[in-house]
Copies of this chain bind each other. A is one copy, B any other.
């Protein structure tokens, strides 16, 4: 065991004590009553970064402040940006917590508190990983720059602006984020791909107001019928999107990726039971894992038009609106997809109706080259700390900051999750396994070494 690894092992209790102190601060970004706690958490972090041997700053924004910290004396070595967040989700419903959300409690080797895994517990592993170097070696083999924001749970409204304004000084080679999870207990993972997203809203208008269905039914086009006919054309009966060109830029999975995904433990029946469906459903020719991680979707998120109250109401409604979002995979372009979608909808617009089309901002998919030296470095560090090779996975969701790092800073992000997806993120009894916490710190300490060789 290296001196650094020994240092990490020796300080396990101190790490838990520090995490406990941070978890006690109810830094709920969504609740303005906790503005003081946000400041308190930011100040706690700054002090702790400084105690670890980094210079640190609290940067005010239009919302909650960003805490930065850095140590940049490894001349000629790579510079790593570590992103995380110190804000947490509101803890409600409080009565479903076994112990109060801001009084951390350890049971069965797990620490229970709001923010335990999302993201205080995961984020702080990197502070400790850096500290271990500075306290033993007096230096780090890479340069590190921490950006810990306080608005991740409320949409990161001020982060892009901060990145834009500081992109020259941030100037780093790769980002590290621990805000995802392992694939399963004992199966650490590196998430090398995320889906992107784009969204729109379609409204079909018929008569200028709701009409009496007796007096007028049968004489004018019904926007609900038209919407059904229009939306029914979006997919074939197996769920494949029918919009021309929708799949043309899709980066297909490599045979190697498909093989790796297939070898991951996955119980389709348990998956169905968890979701409350009798069977999975989706594009022919792909497995469930492939569909959720690497296939684009065109999903209807909402339809509303006409009467939605109790009992019947005999009207021909005036309009119908549908909310649609597309999950994108690597190489798909959000603007192009929306434009193809609009053309398709206009071409298939049923007679007698007018169509309005409104688009929302999206973000592209993210993919880290599986042969990237950064990814190889992360694999090696995790193998050493967890005693097992991490699996390479993707995720079906989108993490907008990863897109921002690519777009604004021009860098890839290593998504290294130490927690489990069963840790009750955003739910009562959120927790984090202290073994995973400790292995995360060890992997972080190891990571600075493996990254330094690039």
Q: Say yes or no: A232 contacts B228, CB within 8 Å.
A: yes
| CB of A211 closer than 8 Å to a CB of B | yes
Q: Say yes or no: A304 contacts B308, CB within 8 Å.
A: yes
Contacts of A197 in B (CB 8 A): 214, 314
Least distance between A196 CB and chain B CB atoms (Å): 10
Given A302-B307, A352-B279, also A292-B323 (CB < 8 A): no
Q: Say yes or no: B213 contacts A325, CB within 8 Å.
A: yes
A11-19, A25-33, A215-223, A384-392: which lies at the interface: A215-223
Q: Say yes or no: B215 contacts A292, CB within 8 Å.
A: yes
In the assembly, what is the distance between CA of A206 and CA of B197, in Å?
Answer: 22
Q: Say yes or no: A323 contacts B306, CB within 8 Å.
A: yes
Within 8 A of B (CB), among A308-327: 308, 311-317, 320-323, 325, 327
Contacts of A239 in B (CB 8 A): 218, 221, 225
In the assembly, what is the distance between CA of A314 and CA of B400, in Å?
Answer: 14
Contacts of A211 in B (CB 8 A): 275
Least distance between A9 CB and chain B CB atoms (Å): 35
In the assembly, what is the distance between CA of A312 and CA of B195, in Å?
Answer: 17
In the assembly, what is the distance between CA of A396 and CA of B218, in Å?
Answer: 9
A184-192, A293-301, A367-375: which lies at the interface: A293-301
Least distance between A90 CB and chain B CB atoms (Å): 18
| CB of A305 closer than 8 Å to a CB of B | yes
Least distance between A68 CB and chain B CB atoms (Å): 29
In the assembly, what is the distance between CA of A283 and CA of B218, in Å?
Answer: 7
In the assembly, what is the distance between CA of A208 and CA of B317, in Å?
Answer: 29
Q: Say yes or no: A213 contacts B297, CB within 8 Å.
A: yes
Contacts of A292 in B (CB 8 A): 215-219
| CB of A231 closer than 8 Å to a CB of B | yes
